[in-house]
Chain A
Amino acid sequence: MWSRRIFLTLLSGFVLLPVYVMVSSSLKPLQDVSGEFRWLPSGLTVRPYFDIWETVPLAHYFVNSLIVAGAATVCSVVIAVFAAYAVSRYRFRGKRLFTVTVLSTQMFPGILFLLPLFLIFVNIGNATGVALFGSRGGLILTYLTFSLPFSVWMLIGYFESVPRELDEAALVDGCGPLKALFRVVVPAAVPGIVAVAVYAFMTAWGEVLFASVMTDETTRTLAVGLQGYSTQNDVYWNQIMAASLVVSVPVVAGFLLLQRYLVTGLTAGAVK
């Protein structure tokens, strides 16, 4: 099939081009990335990979991002599991209202609630002394709700594909509903949960808008910190590329390892 070969080759080229630029430029000396573009480096160097930690406090941003994204993922998954279990296994008033409301928050432009959220966080801080603005806690709270609607939605579909008889049997055997959830439904829905966790982590790791407004020097995440490599006089493109590569490795590796789950999770959940 020639059309397939041509199409897939072109598409692969399109996909790989920036990846190639990122990898090759990160191994180039500064004059190679300041002057005219070159496909091949004039000489290979790994210095950018050492310099990136000096030019900006990258390790610090890295830790911040890990804490924020990690905590947001764990909380988001646990909360989504509870909510999805309630929706898929119980009949109650307001069920439809809940699912529709949660889903429709997906359509809200982030810009719409950036400033109000900022005001709420500041007011909560003034009233209770809990510093949400500028803290990791505020960012965690925000990010976990970003991934929550999609996670709930996907897990509902996934839980519905777990036969009801399984947890009903567990209930009959004397398990409480929560025990049935964690002993029966959750183990059977692991692929869906993994998919949701991957999604939540990626969402939190990549967010820019709220990170640029809601963090200060001590809580800055990678999304904002990476912009520190462009100084007034000189842009260290080789270091920027090296840093981009370094911050991408954890998510890309995790994603590629777990993408199988994501596909099966989507098949059972979102696509229903």
Chain B
Amino acid sequence: MTLTTASAGTRAPEPAVRKTSGAGRGPRRPGRVRRTALPYLLLLPALLLEILVHLLPIVIGVAMSFKELTQFHLRDWGAAPWRGLDNFRLVVDLDGPAGQALLKSFVTTCLFTAASVGLCWLLGTAAAVYLQESFRGRGFLRALFLVPYALPVYAAVITWSFMFQRDNGLVNYVLHEQLGLLDSPSFWLIGGNSFVALLTVSVWKGWPFAFLIVMAGLQNVPREMYEAAALDGAGRWQQLRRITLPSLRPVNQVLVLVLFLWTFNDFNTPFVLFGRAAPEAANLVSIHIYQSSFATWNFGAGSAMSVLLLVFLLLVTGVYLFLTSRERRVSRG
């Protein structure tokens, strides 16, 4: 009903304008003043919360990274002594155990993120492209593919950790007992295999998001383009390369960045899969920071690592956005 009155208003704007300007000359001025303040008022709740929960903690976190925050000072962290760059020196000192552990964890995280984002993107795009045309069961498949995304992280990851159990899990049963690919049941949640296990779970959880975004992006590609291309004799592969992928470019720019940030910062998946102590092969940076902060109670060093992580992410994001935006501008112009 509101819609009809509104469109009626659009159709005949003239008398309406005259009515308000004629009748409401008096209260119009304070209305104007309120209107310039209004956007700020509307933003205020969001702004306050962002400051309280995101920005202020980050400022405090940066301050903490310059302090000696060990178990002796935790109670009154404001009074903890300033230590300048000591914490940073400690965590980037590649000759010391802390620096080596951080570097190792960082490399692991980079490899893990690259593999996971790549696979998520590939599976998501392929599935979205295959589901572009309508066929029987398409709606069902679409809903099915979104299930991993909809499941709560812990429920899904606990199920995977059951499947990866050495003695009673599905993975060993299938690979060892049924297919004979493994000589003996292997451990998946400790040792070198844990990287594969984590990657599998991460891709399983993450690819539906890529699927969802690409699917939404594909709805903006005009159907006529495909029809025209088909008339010109372009095959499926050519249509994919010349129409689908180029039209997805702006979507992919955001999608890959978001996938990268979420995967790189992922805490929930390894935390539920491995518990508090992640195996070295799957020791992602966020887990590493959490674990070393709470194991040694050195929160100063933990904050220093977090700050380095943030700087790294800011740099990558900045460079990425700069490069991809320039590329887009060049290809457009």
Q: Are B46 and A21 in contact (CB under 8 A)?
A: no
Whether a CB of chain B sits under 8 angstroms from the CB of A263 is yes
Of A42-50, A51-59, A254-262, the one contacting chain B is: A254-262
User: B130, B141, B213: which contacts A271 (Cβ < 8 A)?
Assistant: B213
Report the minimum CB–CB distance from B10 to chain A (whole Å).
5
Whether a CB of chain A sits under 8 angstroms from the CB of B134 is no
CA gap between A255 and B209 in the complex, in Å: 13
Q: Are B170 and A21 in contact (CB under 8 A)?
A: yes
Q: Are A120 and B152 in contact (CB under 8 A)?
A: no
Whether a CB of chain A sits under 8 angstroms from the CB of B71 is no
- Per-residue CB proximity of B238-262 to A under 8 Å, as 1/0? 0000000000001100100010010
Residues of B within 8 A of A145 (CB): 49-50, 52-54
Q: Are A110 and B265 in contact (CB under 8 A)?
A: yes
Within 8 A of A (CB), among B189-236: 204, 212-213, 215-217, 219-220
Whether a CB of chain A sits under 8 angstroms from the CB of B60 is yes
Q: Are B267 and A270 in contact (CB under 8 A)?
A: no
Whether a CB of chain A sits under 8 angstroms from the CB of B123 is yes
Whether a CB of chain B sits under 8 angstroms from the CB of A67 is no
User: B46, B56, B163, B309: which contacts A83 (Cβ < 8 A)?
Assistant: B46
Residues of B within 8 A of A266 (CB): 212-213, 216
CA gap between A4 and B39 in the complex, in Å: 49
Whether a CB of chain B sits under 8 angstroms from the CB of A102 is yes
CA gap between A208 and B42 in the complex, in Å: 31
- Per-residue CB proximity of A192-231 to B under 8 Å, as 1/0? 0000000000100111110010000000001100100000
Residues of B within 8 A of A251 (CB): 150-152
Whether a CB of chain A sits under 8 angstroms from the CB of B3 is yes
Q: Are A247 and B155 in contact (CB under 8 A)?
A: yes
Q: Are B52 and A115 in contact (CB under 8 A)?
A: no
Query: By the criterion of a CB under 8 Å from any partner CB, how many residues of chain B are at the interface?
Result: 102
Residues of B within 8 A of A22 (CB): 155, 159
The binding surface of chain B is classed by DSSP as: helix
CA gap between A111 and B93 in the complex, in Å: 22
> Known: A117-B53, A167-B6. Contact between A174 and B20, CB under 8 A?
yes
Report the minimum CB–CB distance from A264 to chain B (whole Å).
8
> Known: A21-B170, A109-B309, A113-B58. Contact between A271 and B49, CB under 8 A?
no
Residues of A within 8 A of B212 (CB): 262-263, 266
The binding surface of chain A is classed by DSSP as: helix
Residues of A within 8 A of B60 (CB): 116, 119-120
Q: Are A169 and B216 in contact (CB under 8 A)?
A: no
Q: Are A36 and B168 in contact (CB under 8 A)?
A: yes
CA gap between A41 and B320 in the complex, in Å: 50
Q: Tell me how many residue pairs across A and B have CB atoms closer than 8 Å.
A: 290
CA gap between A46 and B49 in the complex, in Å: 45
> Known: A12-B144, A106-B258, A252-B147. Contact between A206 and B268, CB under 8 A?
yes
Whether a CB of chain A sits under 8 angstroms from the CB of B299 is yes
Residues of B within 8 A of A80 (CB): 46
Q: Are B162 and A270 in contact (CB under 8 A)?
A: no
CA gap between A86 and B45 in the complex, in Å: 12
Report the minimum CB–CB distance from B293 to chain A (whole Å).
7
Q: Are A37 and B217 in contact (CB under 8 A)?
A: no
Q: Are B146 and A92 in contact (CB under 8 A)?
A: no
Residues of B within 8 A of A83 (CB): 42-43, 45-47
CA gap between A30 and B167 in the complex, in Å: 14
Residues of B within 8 A of A114 (CB): 290
Q: Are B152 and A205 in contact (CB under 8 A)?
A: yes
CA gap between A16 and B159 in the complex, in Å: 12
> Known: A12-B141, A18-B163. Contact between A115 and B130, CB under 8 A?
no
Q: Are A169 and B57 in contact (CB under 8 A)?
A: no
Residues of B within 8 A of A104 (CB): 317
> Known: A166-B7, A222-B152, A266-B213. Contact between A116 and B50, CB under 8 A?
no
Whether a CB of chain A sits under 8 angstroms from the CB of B323 is no
Q: Are B158 and A240 in contact (CB under 8 A)?
A: yes
Q: Are B286 and A79 in contact (CB under 8 A)?
A: no
Residues of B within 8 A of A11 (CB): 123, 127, 145
Residues of B within 8 A of A170 (CB): 2, 5-6, 9
> Known: A109-B309, A206-B153, A223-B152. Contact between A173 and B49, CB under 8 A?
no
Q: Are A107 and B49 in contact (CB under 8 A)?
A: no
> Known: A18-B163, A109-B313, A252-B150. Contact between A115 and B64, CB under 8 A?
yes
User: B46, B148, B168, B285: which contacts A37 (Cβ < 8 A)?
Assistant: B168
5 A-B pairs besides A86-B39, A86-B40, A177-B38 with CB distance below 8 A are A8-B131, A37-B169, A116-B61, A120-B52, A141-B49
Sample (19) of A-B pairs whose CB atoms are under 8 Å apart: A12-B145, A21-B163, A33-B168, A79-B46, A79-B49, A92-B39, A142-B53, A166-B3, A167-B6, A170-B5, A183-B2, A206-B154, A207-B268, A241-B159, A244-B155, A244-B159, A256-B143, A267-B220, A271-B251
